[in-house]
Amino acid sequence: MGLKSVFYDLHLHSCLSPCGDDEMTPATIAGIAALNGLQVIALTDHNSCRNCEPFLKACEYYGILGIPGMELTTSEEIHVVCLFPTLEDALRYDAYVYEHLMNVENNEKIFGKQQIMNEDDEEIGRLSKLLINATDIDFDDVFDLVGSYNGIMIPAHLDKTTTSLLSQLGFIPPDSKFKTAELKNMANLHRLKKEHPYLEKCKIITDSDAHYVKHINRAVNSLLVEEISREAVLKALS
């Protein structure tokens, strides 16, 4: 069986992320992604998976593959994209992470609302802890932790000057286990591989990290998969 090429964007924020625009509702994200020609997308709100259920239903409605996920913030303030094969796995991980998130209340006037939506894009609640804070989960523990929930981890936007593995540590730990890394700008790939040989054995992807509708990727970046399923996408990134 030959490999299939699919257009993807695996790093998207909804209105649950306090920095996410109010228009970034689960159904809107799925609808715009479909209009943009994307075939596989992931919802990765800051330290939460609570909007993944309506997101997955919206993706099914629009005929694209949705993957439940999260952008975890480690104790070192490193952002890591975490992707899961099932909603149940994602929500179990969500419960664990929320307990390990700093116990600081969100100030909506400063940081924005943290809206939980239903499948009709109606607000049904808000999370109280500030989601853009760090957890007490160390980067070195993330690979095995996410794996225990059947998921995979991808260090986010390695080429950013803040909240990335390289900005926070300055190096890639030699005992790292991740197989895929994310760049914001693929023009930085050659330099980063030269500076960090670990990346030579990694699959490199690029995502929008969209917080606004207008920033959701169009059908430009592709990934080779055995079939269009969550399991196949995670396998391709593992």
Q: Indicate the number of domains in the chain.
A: 1
CATH number at residue 207: 3.20.20.140
The pair of structure tokens assigned to 56 is 């997955």
DSSP collapsed to 3 states, the chain: CCCEEEEEEEEECCCCCCCCCCCCCHHHHHHHHHHCCCCEEEECCECCCCCHHHHHHHHHHHCCEEEEEEEEECCCCCEEEEECCCHHHHHHHHHHHHHCECCCECCHHHHCCCEEECCCCCEEEECCECCCCCECCCHHHHHHHHHCCCCEEEECCCCCCCCCHHHHHCCCCCCCCCCEEEECCHHHHHHHHHHCHHHHHCEEEECCCECCHHHCCCCCCEEEECCCCHHHHHHHCC
**What is the residue-level pLDDT of the chain in tens, covering all 238 positions?**
689 999 999 999 999 999 999 999 999 999 999 999 999 999 999 999 999 999 999 999 999 999 999 999 999 999 999 999 999 999 999 999 999 999 999 999 999 999 999 999 999 999 999 999 999 999 999 999 999 999 999 999 999 999 999 999 999 999 999 999 999 999 999 999 999 999 999 999 999 999 999 999 999 999 999 999 999 999 999 9
- Residue ranges making up the domain that contains 81: 4-236
Residue 163 backbone zone (phi > 0: left; psi -120 to 50: alpha; other: beta): left
pTM for this one?
Answer: 0.97
